[in-house]
Amino acid sequence: MTVIGRKDFAYVTAAFFLALPGCATVPVGAPAVDVAPSGETVAVGTANADAADDPAIWAAPAGTDAMLGGQAVRGFIAGTDKKAGLYVYGLDGAQLQFIRDGLLNNVDLREGVTVDGREQVLIGASDRGRMGIALYLFDPASRDPANQLRPWGFIRSDVTEPYGFCLGMSGGAPHAFLIGKDGETRQYRIETGPSGPTGTEVRRFAIGSQSEGCVVDDSAGRLYVGEENGGVWRYALDAGSGSERIQLQAIDDSGRLVPDVEGVTLIRDGGATYLIVSSQGDSAFALWRVDGAEPAYVGRFRVGAGDGIDAVTGTDGLDARGGPVGDYPEGLVVVQDDENEGAQNFKLIDWRAIKAALGL
Tens-of-pLDDT digits for all 360 residues of the chain? 223 344 444 433 443 333 344 444 445 789 999 999 999 999 999 877 789 999 999 999 999 999 999 999 999 999 999 999 999 999 999 999 999 998 999 999 999 999 999 999 999 999 999 999 999 999 999 999 999 999 999 999 999 999 999 999 999 999 999 999 999 999 999 998 778 899 999 999 999 999 999 999 999 999 999 999 999 999 999 877 677 899 999 999 999 999 999 999 999 999 999 999 999 999 999 999 999 999 999 999 999 999 899 999 999 999 999 999 999 999 999 999 998 878 999 999 999 999 999 999
195 burial level (CB within 10 Å; 0-12, 13-18, 19+):
exposed
Per the CB < 8 A criterion, the answer to whether 166 and 187 are in contact is no
- Kindly state the helix (H) or strand (E) to which residue 212 belongs, with its residue range: strand 211-217
Closest CA to 75 of 345, 325, 332, 328: 325
Closest CA to 339 of 305, 315, 306, 303: 315
Q: Mind listing the domains of the chain with CATH numbers?
A: 6-358 (2.120.10.30)
At residue 6, the 3 state secondary structure works out as: helix
Per the CB < 8 A criterion, the answer to whether 99 and 152 are in contact is no
Q: How far is 360 from 346, CA to CA, in rounded Å?
A: 24
Closest CA to 275 of 322, 241, 206, 316: 322
Alpha helices in 164-224 (DSSP H): none
Cα angle: 131, vertex 337, 123; to 5 degrees: 40
At residue 282, the 3 state secondary structure works out as: helix
